[in-house]
Amino acid sequence: MNNNSRERYFELSLLFLILILGYALILQALPFINGILGAITLYVLLRRPNFYLINRYGKRKAPWIITLSITVFILIPLSLLAWYAIELVQNFDLDPKIAIEKITSIVKKIEGATGFDLITDKSLSFITAQLSNIFNMLMSGINNFTVNLFTAILLLFFLLSGGMKMELYIARLLPFSDENKHAVIKKLHLIVRSNAIGIPLLAVIQGLVATIGYMLCGVNNALLFGILTGFASIIPIVGTMIVWIPLVIGQYFDGSLLSTLGLALYGIVIISQCDNVIRLILQKRMANTHPLITIFGVIAGLPIFGFMGVIFGPLIVSMFLLFVDMFAKQYILGEVYSPIPPAQLPEIKNNSDKKN
């Protein structure tokens, strides 16, 4: 075996070991994926304040200051809000007999008019099984939330401690030119920051708007359903409708026709349109992202990443389109891909030379 063949053998063997060990580590990290992605999101949002605090207080104090501040002022209040919502759900007063009687009467009227059997033994067993699965998922989600929260805080501290070294190392590994590396990193930061800020902001606004309408229409536990509406705004396409439409049906079951009509009009005119308008404004202002990228990104990201798919799903779609554009212009059309205006390239190059 000559030297070239031996070197090639060592290279392929090392690559094989990296892939096998990496696959094993990814499998073990899947239960903590939301915590890992949450830490990365927080790091992208806090990297500039971290650099500022490092220059002012030093490398050792800056990560502690940011981590403790995030824990005390953001994560603990969010955790208390989540536990409050869970307690409200557990104490939610609902008489199942009245609901079943009214649902049955409506179904019988529809069956008499259409001649179709809407409720069968199979459908009832299916609905019961699905409700049981939803409850189990909720309980497991609460436990995963606590574990991933601790993971996010722990990982965030180490990311803040060695953030610059990590960024430089990743930039060296990217198989692109310096200009393309700049475009990839800039796009990554832009999408993560815009979604991490825009999506919670949209949820808060939607929750406030919905809570006001629910109170005006006399909905019981208006605050609880307002919080649920805010969370539902994250879901693409259906969004807030999965909360206010069942509420309209519930108001009808309570026998208040006026409040039912008022809630239905408020949901259609105010809540739904507010969701669409605010979402478009935030996407346009913060990242100039097409709405379809966000919709398909969330649809693809939720099954892969869970809750953090609302941030990293659109990121995957945006990066895919960016890589396709790079490949097409550089290797198919024969153009020199330049995501940065040509006039700025010498300046960036000179600045990097000065730093070196």
Q: Tell me what pLDDT residue 237 has.
A: 67
Of residues 339 and 319, which shows the higher confidence score?
319
Distance CA 278, CA 207 (A): 13
Instruction: Give the Cα separation of 41 and 153 in Å (integer).
Output: 12
Mean pLDDT (the chain) is 75
pLDDT tens-digit profile of 41-69? 888 888 888 888 888 888 888 889 999 98
pLDDT in tens, 7-20: 888 888 888 999 99
Note the pTM of the prediction, 2 decimals.
0.68
Separation between Cα atoms, residue 300 and residue 313, nearest integer Å: 6
Whole-angstrom distance, CA of residue 208 vs CA of residue 229: 9
Return the structure tokens found at 327.
Answer: 């490949």
Instruction: Give percent of the chain with pLDDT exceeding 90.
Output: 4
In contact, 310 and 195? CB cutoff 8 Å:
yes
CA distances from 161 to 73, 166, 235, 355, 356 (A): 20, 10, 34, 21, 22
Lowest mean pLDDT among 38-42, 229-233, 286-290: 286-290
23/29 Cα distance (integer angstroms): 10
CA–centroid distance for 176 within its chain: 28
Q: Whose CA is closest to 340, among 176, 164, 196?
A: 176
Predicted pLDDT at 21: 93
Instruction: Extract the runs of DSSP E, i.e. beta strands, from the chain.
Output: none
**Residue 335 confidence (pLDDT):** 60
Q: Are 186 and 310 in contact (CB under 8 A)?
A: no
**Using one digit for the tens of pLDDT, what is the confidence trace for 212-259?**
988 888 887 788 788 888 888 877 667 788 888 888 877 776 657 788
Q: Give the model's confidence band at 2: pLDDT under 50 very low, under 70 low, under 90 confident, else very high.
A: low
Q: Helix, strand, or coil here: 5?
A: helix
DSSP string for 277-344? HHHHHHHHHHT---HHHHHHHHHHHHHHHGGGHHHHHHHHHHHHHHHHHHHIIIIIS-----SS-GGG
- Whole-angstrom CA distances from 70 to 199, 242, 340 are 18, 32, 34
pLDDT of residue 59: 84
Task: Name the strand (E) or helix (H) holding 52.
Answer: helix 33-57
Confidence (pLDDT) at 341: 44
How much is the average pLDDT of 23-40?
Answer: 85
The confidence score (pLDDT) of residue 17 equals: 92
DSSP 271: I
Residue of higher predicted confidence among 130 and 170? 170
Q: Residue range 250-276: average pLDDT?
A: 80
| DSSP structure string for 180-198 | HHHHHHHHHHHHHHHHHHH
Across 164-168, 204-208, 344-348, the highest mean pLDDT is recorded for 204-208
CB 162 within 8 A of CB 48: no
Question: Percentage of the chain surpassing pLDDT 70?
Answer: 72
E-strand stretches of 130-176: none
pLDDT of residue 257: 77
